[in-house]
Structure formats: structure tokens, C-alpha cells
Amino acid sequence: MYEVTIEKTFSAAHALLEIGGKCEDLHGHNFTVQVTVAGDVLNDEGLLLDFRVLKRWTDEILELLDHRFLNEVPFFQGINPSSENIARFVFGEVKTRIEGTALRVDRVTVRESANAWATYRGDRS
Ligand SMILES: [Zn+2]
């Protein structure tokens, strides 16, 4: 099995509601997003997926979040725009774009800072 990972960044603000009984007021992050795609078969060029394609998809997706107040983005209505949920959002968007190929989205990691990040790997129950 092969994996291809790209990394992109975006900046956004969020406010988190009721975490451990406490609210986190409005604040911002420079988020780093890593998207990993996996598959077993390389194309004729010896690539699993052209990095440029995965970067373009990720740019399109992060454009929906960049410089936004995440609580107002439709996906996050009624849920906390946590790093976990941002990862799930990006995962779903990449999955939509990759459908119909032999590839799968393996995981999306969203890093809020150098020492705090969350990963979504899809529903593997
Ligand atoms: Zn935060």
C-alpha cells in the first residue's frame, strides 16, 4: 500500500462551546492540515496521486474555511468547530473528490499549534 500526504495551512477564528463545562471565547489559529490518501496501485507515471492534484483539492476545501469565523460555516452549525470536526469536514470533502478512483482518504490531521493536533480516520467501526 502507498500513501501520499500533503500539508496546507489556513487561518480562522472559532469559539468553542461547553468544553468540560467551560466555553472558549473567540480566538484564532493558524491551522495546519495534513491530508493522506492511500491506495495499492500506481498509475503509468509511477504516482499514487499527483501531489499537485491533492494540493489543489485541499486548497479548494480550505478556501471554504480560510479567514472565516468557523462557527458560521454551515457544516459547523450545531457542532463545535473543533480541530476534530474540521478534520472530519476536510475528510468528507476530499472523499467526495476522490470517489470513483481506486484511492481512499486514509486520514486528515488538523494541527492547532506545534504541540496539539487531532486526526480523523473515517468511520472504521
Ligand atoms: Zn481554538
What are the pLDDT digits (tens) for 89-113? 999 999 999 999 999 999 999 999 9
Cα separation of 70 and 74, whole Å?
Answer: 9
18-27, 38-47, 80-89: least confidently modelled range: 18-27
Query: What percent of the chain is predicted at pLDDT more than 90?
Result: 89
Query: What percent of the chain is predicted at pLDDT more than 70?
Result: 99
Q: What's the pLDDT at 123?
A: 84
String of DSSP letters for 66-110:
TTSBGGGSGGGTTS---HHHHHHHHHHHHHHHHTTSS-EEEEEEE
State the distance from the centre of ligand 1 to the C-alpha of 101, rounded, in angstroms: 35
State the distance from the centre of ligand 1 to the C-alpha of 12, rounded, in angstroms: 9
State the distance from the centre of ligand 1 to the C-alpha of 14, rounded, in angstroms: 6
Global confidence as pTM? 0.94
State the distance from the centre of ligand 1 to the C-alpha of 120, rounded, in angstroms: 17
State the distance from the centre of ligand 1 to the C-alpha of 37, rounded, in angstroms: 26
